Amino acid sequence: MKKILFIIGTRPEAIKLAPLIKTFKKSKAFEVKVCLSSQHKEMVFKVFDFFRVKADYDLDIMESNQTLFTITSKLIKRIEEVLSSYKPDFIFVQGDTTTSFIGALAGFYNKIPVAHIEAGLRSFNKFSPFPEEMNRILTDHISDYHFAPTEKAKENLLNDGISDNIWVVGNTVVDALHLGLKIINKDKILKEKIESFFSNFLNFQEKKIILVTSHRRENFGRPFKNFCFALKKLADNFYDIEIVYPIHLNPNVREPAYKILSNHPRIHILEPLSYPYFIWLMNKSYLILTDSGGLQEEAPSLGKPLLIIRDTTERHEVVNSGIAKLVGTDTDKITNEASSLILNKKIYNKMAKKQDIYGDGKTSEKILSIMLDEIIKEKQIK
């Protein structure tokens, strides 16, 4: 059996890798272990509980007001200890987090082949998103296996001079979304709990639900405040909407959001929602405003129009498809674009179309099949 170590730091990574971990654990060709850096500790554990995935190692690097310097320095040392103990044949990392980059770098230092899930995304601005854009570029160049979600991502890799071991497989986030909604629908008790929770303060029959998330570091300060002012303006202008904002734990987000948005009857600031609650709400929403990369990938599968609160995106396909618009952080632009979707059904219907931009929910199976083929090739060469 080949030994695989999945290295995970944040909730989005946990969501996107959970179905892949479950798929690989079904194979007799691999022994699988999971290492958490705990960049997002409690949120990751909740995701794992839902998908019934367990961690084998917890690096426990989390501390209040942590910086990129403290995260990076802690990660490289603690991952080294895990690699010395477990000695994996392959390391799997996902996306563009600091954990992904340092996990790949640690693999390189130990001459362990690295597989990068969601390779090839580019915003073409190394400071936006920051530090994610550079994390992903460096991880791509370090990695030995590149699992690109789209043809555009593959093209980006080729343009960067990366030509070996690239496969276009879709995005595992769609696997997670399909699996998550299936679990909810099968679990009557869980479904009733979720429905009861939201029905206590939301009117799904008479109101348009606008789902909001925002946490990007480059939006901290004035850009984020502008975004909050836009939300308040929308809530003031439209009595038939309700804005739901599951807020990030970062104080740079929480303090201005509560100051500007609290006590409005049509704005509901919630503590971070667990994954099943979040995807159920996303599926029931009318419109999504976000700076999240994962939501840009999930919204097309559900046919939810998306306003991206950023000036750039590394997920160009979702904008080109017409289901999303880049609106930046200008208060008036956000307000005007959202107002058009609330008022004009024709504009709304043009954007609200389900599309399999990022896969059909079978990405994990494709990746497993490819890795099995690679093992066979390796044996033939030897």
Please identify every residue annotated as catalytic. 96, 118, 132, 215, 217, 248
DSSP 62: -
Token pair listed for 156 = 């980006």
Dihedral sign, Cα of residue 174, residue 257, residue 131, residue 45: negative
Token pair listed for 167 = 């496969």
Q: List, in sequence order, every residue forming a beta bridge with 267; answer none if it has no partner.
A: 243
Those residues with Cβ within 8 angstroms of residue 131's Cβ, 6 or more apart along the chain or in another chain: 68, 98, 217
In angstroms, rounded to a whole number, what is the distance separating the alpha carbons of residues 134 and 350?
A: 34
DSSP 91: E
Nearest C-alpha neighbor of 173 from the set 278, 284, 246, 68: 278
Token pair listed for 176 = 């997670």
Measured at the CA of 361, the angle between CA 326 and CA 152, to 5 degrees, comes to 45
Q: 3-state DSSP call for residue 159?
A: helix
H-type helices in the chain, by residue range? 11-25, 41-51, 68-86, 98-109, 132-142, 151-159, 172-186, 188-199, 222-237, 251-261, 275-284, 293-302, 316-320, 331-343, 345-351, 363-381
Report whether 167 contacts 147 (CB < 8 A). Answer: yes
Number of Cβ atoms within 10 Å of the Cβ of 111: 6
DSSP 124: S
In angstroms, rounded to a whole number, what is the distance separating the alpha carbons of residues 234 and 199?
A: 22
Report whether 307 contacts 325 (CB < 8 A). Answer: yes
Report whether 121 contacts 97 (CB < 8 A). Answer: no
Q: 3-state DSSP call for residue 284?
A: helix
Report whether 140 contacts 120 (CB < 8 A). Answer: yes
